């Protein structure tokens, strides 16, 4: 999903009453700032219990070099809004590597979780508990 799609179809997204997972930080670009309309709408949607977000593809959200420090405030904002509905993923197998011209190191991407969620209990929710609940693994 592109952040402009969120903004253009805001009423449709607000009207969804089924479980919806937004991936890759809603494909925001950090250069557009944390106040960009698409990200602010994502934060609004995350107030609803049916919305989930994947904080994945950090390397694609920025032009900065690793460790992509400008992505961290976006992760913090999403985690603060709904720590029980945030998940992480590698974006493997990186099928869009041709678009970005590189294949990221998944280990380094996982290391970002230490910056995204310094608290171990929150990290555990994002990496284990939240996906288990969403996908019914608890059953």
Considering the domain boundaries, does residue 139 fall inside one? no
pLDDT exceeds 80 at position 1: no
**Residue 91 annotated among the catalytic residues of the structure:** yes
- pLDDT tens per residue across span 12-56: 999 999 999 999 999 999 999 999 999 999 999 999 999 999 999
Predicted model pTM: 0.93
Q: Which residues contact 79 (CB under 8 A, 6 or more apart)?
A: 55, 86, 116, 117, 122, 126
Number of domains in the chain: 1
* Per annotation, catalytic residue among 4, 50, 63, 91: 91
Give the domain extent around 99.
Answer: 3-134
DSSP-based three-state secondary structure for 2: coil
Residue 81 sits in a domain whose CATH number is 3.20.20.140
- Name the percent of the chain lying above pLDDT 70: 93
| CB contact burial 26-57 (16+ within 10 A = b; e otherwise) | bbbbbeeeeebebbebbbebbeeeebbbbbbb
């Amino acid at each position: 999903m592109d952040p402009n799609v969120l903004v253009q179809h805001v009423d449709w997204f607000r009207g969804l009453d089924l479980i919806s997972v937004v991936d890759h930080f809603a494909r925001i670009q950090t250069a557009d700032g944390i106040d960009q309309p698409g990200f602010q709408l994502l934060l609004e949607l995350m107030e609803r219990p049916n919305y989930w977000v994947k904080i994945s593809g950090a390397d694609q959200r920025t032009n900065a070099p690793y460790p992509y420090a400008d992505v961290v405030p976006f992760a913090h904002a999403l985690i603060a809004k709904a720590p029980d509905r945030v998940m992480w993923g590698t974006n493997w197998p990186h099928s869009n590597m041709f678009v970005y011209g590189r294949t990221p190191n998944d280990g380094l991407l996982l290391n970002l979780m230490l910056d995204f969620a310094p608290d171990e209990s929150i990290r555990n929710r994002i990496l284990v508990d939240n996906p288990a609940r969403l996908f019914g693994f608890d059953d």
